[in-house]
Amino acid sequence: MTVDQAVPAVLATAAEARSWQEPLYRDLHQNPELSHAEHRTAGIVADRLRQSGYEVTTGVGGTGVVGILRNGTGPTVLLRADMDALPVQEDTGLPYASTVVAPSPAGDGQVPVAHACGHDMHTACLLGAADLLAQGQNHWNGTLVALFQPAEETVDGARGMVDDGLAQLLPPVDVVLGQHVAPLPAGYVGAQAGPAFAAADCIRVTVYGRGGHASRPETTVDPVVLAASIVLRLQTVVAREVEPGEPAVLTVGSLHAGTKANIIADHAVLELNIRTYSEGVRSAILAAIQRIVTAECAASGSPRDPEFEFYEHAPLTDNDPGVTAKLIDTFTGVFADRVVVPPRVLGSEDFSDIARGVSAPYSYWLFGGTDPEIFAKAAAAGRLSSDIPSNHSPHFAPVIQPTLDTGTTALVAAALSWLAG
């Protein structure tokens, strides 16, 4: 059976899956869980996979879930979804909006929690696709792995699963596939070879001064003035040290110093975030940061060398050209003119850590979650950036349909690109 024949055959029972997928999605949306705390979600996932006939392993890398369905001789395809939510106060007005609060990861009280990045949609789509493929086993051969990952938002969930022996749980994997809901029109999918999501690095920089009373600044080295000089100088790195047209962002997201208005502090802490598509550009920006910070400290007479802490890294998502070409061919047969080339994204993902951990090529695509009429109206008015909520916004929530059907169909079609024929 060819892929073109297998896809509609497997999707023949999609209406039955939809009857439980939609309530499941609403439940997940209303009950989000933060990174590394996805206990309820993981339990729901494991139960549903068992109902669909999968061999299920739980607790992989903490709360990760792996389902395996063996169906004769053939390739092994791994489909991945992430499960965690964000510390965001939802403001969508939906009847199933989250009102959940949870202990802050920083240990400083409670924080609101919401699925403001769509991982609830990812989970519901993969559970639906896994069930449809299980029911349609007479249309394909091989092994299907349905992997549900924790802690994507802290970009350590994939590595946690790999470090916990993921590869040893699986047969050799031929391809790793995944998707992300995005502020594109619902019903559309977007795929492209090469860089799809940026590499990201977080750096905590501590610079030192000499504290004292605000009435005697001449006896001090003011770290606030020093930090301000660093912030301004860093704005020139991308503008003047990176080739125009090369995607890169350098953000100073946090600056903390001092405790009281009449006290000059003895240190300041800056938290930086950089996003790049090229290892060469990444290395150049990191070197520029260290050069500028060190030079500004010297110029200010800082009594101590600055300290650099590299505390978070997300790898580049660089889609395999052969895998992606195969996907686009299949998607075009299924979605016709609703297959688009998505815009380059400087957001980051740890999806590719899974693929590297099982030594397999990969591709990661986008699917739309915005009401098509609302999207078209905003596009016509030139107001996409202001009128269409993006991921991580308190207003972000995909329309349930056709988003859920599109994401489920894309996963089924993607898997069958290898398992059928």
Pick the closest to residue 31 from 106, 123, 107, 109 (CA basis): 123
pTM for the structure as a whole: 0.93
Query: How confident is the model over 323-328, as a mean pLDDT?
Result: 98
58, 198, 347, 364, 406 from 127: Cα distances, Å: 15, 27, 25, 18, 13
Residue 84, pLDDT above cutoff 80: yes
Give the model's confidence band at 107: pLDDT under 50 very low, under 70 low, under 90 confident, else very high: confident
Which tokens sit at 251?
A: 């953000």
Q: What is the pLDDT of residue 327?
A: 98
Lowest mean pLDDT among 1-5, 120-124, 126-130, 223-227: 1-5
Q: What is the pLDDT of residue 106?
A: 81
Which residues touch 216 (CB under 8 Å, ≥6 apart)? Answer: none
Q: Which CATH number is 3-196+316-419 given?
A: 3.40.630.10
Work out the burial of residue 385: count CB atoms within 10 Å of its CB; fewer than 13 is exposed, 13-18 middle, 19 or more buried: exposed
pLDDT digits (tens, 9 = 90+) for 140-192: 999 999 999 999 999 999 999 999 999 999 999 999 999 999 999 999 999 99
Which tokens sit at 180?
A: 């992300």
3-state secondary structure of 156: coil
Query: How confident is the model over 249-257, as a mean pLDDT?
Result: 97
Q: What is the pLDDT of residue 198?
A: 96
| In 301-341, alpha helices (H) | 321-335
In the chain, where does the domain assigned CATH 3.30.70.360 lie? Answer: 199-314
More confident residue, 345 or 203: 203
Could you check whether the bond before residue 402 is cis, i.e. omega within 30 degrees of 0? yes
Query: How confident is the model over 330-347, as a mean pLDDT?
Result: 93
Helix (H) or strand (E) holding 419: helix 400-419
Helix (H) or strand (E) holding 209: none
Amino acid at 358: V
> Across all residues in the chain, what is the average pLDDT?
97
Give the model's confidence band at 415: pLDDT under 50 very low, under 70 low, under 90 confident, else very high: very high
Residue 132, pLDDT above cutoff 80: yes
Give pairs for 255-263: CB < 8 Å, separation 24+. Answer: 255/227, 255/231, 257/223, 257/224, 257/227, 258/224, 261/214, 262/213, 262/214, 262/215, 263/211, 263/212, 263/213, 263/214
In the chain, where does the domain assigned CATH 3.40.630.10 lie? Answer: 3-196+316-419
Q: What is the pLDDT of residue 214?
A: 97
CB count in 10 Å sphere of residue 324: 20
Work out the burial of residue 332: count CB atoms within 10 Å of its CB; fewer than 13 is exposed, 13-18 middle, 19 or more buried: middle
262, 393, 396, 398 from 389: Cα distances, Å: 42, 6, 5, 10
257 Rama class: left (phi>0) / alpha (psi -120 to 50) / beta:
beta
Which residues touch 322 (CB under 8 Å, ≥6 apart)? Answer: 361
Query: How confident is the model over 407-412, as a mean pLDDT?
Result: 98
199-314 carries CATH number 3.30.70.360: yes
pLDDT digits (tens, 9 = 90+) for 9-37: 999 999 999 999 999 999 999 999 999 99
